[in-house]
Amino acid sequence: MMNMQKMMKQAQDLQKNMKVAQAEIESTTFYGTSAQDLVKVAFTGDRKLTTIDIATDLIDPEDKETLSDMIAQAVNAALVEIDKTTEQKMGKFTKGLPF
């Protein structure tokens, strides 16, 4: 049976490693694009939108719906990338835990 000091040390190491992984994710820039790359967005790992780049061809005052759809598509693509990376980096810490 493990002694209490060893368990505490392992818990502290796990916590430290999780903080490092979380900081890595937060400092990473994630990109999302719409169909044909007409809209490109960038997010930080903590889900803050930093840029939106819209192709000038897409800007049509008569067709706001298409622009809106393309922005939503790019934003959602970037958020999916954040979720995937977070799961890859943070999931290893919770794998096998009983909760």
Per-residue model confidence (pLDDT) at position 7 = 84
Average of per-residue pLDDT across 13-22 = 90
Average of per-residue pLDDT across 6-14 = 86
> So where are the chain's domains?
30-93
Tell me the CATH class for 30-93. alpha beta
Residue of 11, 40, 46, 8 lying closest to 26 (CA atoms)? 46
* pLDDT tens-place string over residues 42-94: 999 999 999 999 999 889 999 999 999 999 999 999 999 999 999 998 888 77
Q: Per the structure block, which two tokens stand in for 84?
A: 């995937």
Per-residue model confidence (pLDDT) at position 93 = 77
Q: Per the structure block, which two tokens stand in for 47?
A: 């889900």
CA 82 to chain centre: 2
Q: Helices marked H in the chain — which ranges?
A: 4-27, 64-94
Q: Per the structure block, which two tokens stand in for 93?
A: 């810490």
